[in-house]
Structure 1
Amino acid sequence: MKILVNECYAAIRKSSRIDLKEDMEVLNLRYEDSTEGYLISFINSMDEDFRVILTLFYYEDMTIKDIGQVLNISQGTVKSRLSRAKAKLKTILENQ
């Protein structure tokens, strides 16, 4: 039974992989001169862990549980990274 569960998790992770870099490049081109474009450029300047979490949560509309499964991290880790990423983004935006 444990093998079956692990195989299911592996299949979910494999099928859920996305090319975030390509998606972010498309978004950068699309919103280059808009407010959202500035927001995306700020997100791109963040650490990869924070950038990935923000992208999956806000742009891909994934749940915290799904993000945890895709990245193979706990839901608590997803929540803390999301919170830290939002705090960093807020600081960046306040300083602009």
Structure 2
Amino acid sequence: MQETILIAYKNIQQVREPKYFKTWITRILINECNKLRKTQTKIVMMDRYLEPATSEQREVFVDLQTAIDGLEPDLRTVITLYYYEDLSVKEIGAILDIAAGTVKSRLNRARAKLNSLLEGHQFEGRVLHE
């Protein structure tokens, strides 16, 4: 995050339209994350661990995060942007420079793979494919 903010601050003049600022800075963040991933550096998000959670909640989170981490990079990226960053299909397409239809198909493929990876696990009282 710090690198993203620094890069954005130094290059703010490159943003031609203020309405594209979120897309521009998100793209910088993705590029920085990809650089970190290439160096195999692990980053632990501490804010997720500040709230006390039950052991069942921790287990579900670990299972889900492990399943997401097991996806191919293109599928993992669209799932993360859609569900964690709350971006629309159109915004994700703009950030990744792909068509909205491609984003939708990647989301569907990612959901199907996650569903098969998490088969039989319980989430909030619901069982996925027993």
Q: Which TM bucket (shorter chain)?
A: 0.7 to 0.9
Note the C-alpha offset of 1:16.
2.0
* Contact 2:79 2:110 (8 Å CA) reproduced: yes
Tell me the residue number matched to 2:24: 14
Larger RCO of the pair (alpha carbons < 8 Å, separation 6+): 1
Aligned residues: 88
Structure 1 residue 66: Cα displacement: 0.2
Structure 1: segments with no counterpart, 5+ residues: 1-6
2:71 aligned to which of 29, 33, 46: 46
2-structure distance, mates of 1:60, 1:83: 17
Which of 103, 108, 111 pairs up with 1:78? 103
Q: Which runs of 5+ in 2 are unaligned?
A: 1-15, 122-130
Q: Could you tell me the TM-score, scaled by structure 2's length?
A: 0.55
- Quote how far apart the aligned CAs of 1:35 are: 0.8
Greater share of helix:
1
TM-score, normalised relative to structure 1 = 0.72
Q: What does 1:24-43 align with in structure 2 at a 5 Å threshold? A: 25-26=44-45, 30=49, 33-43=58-68
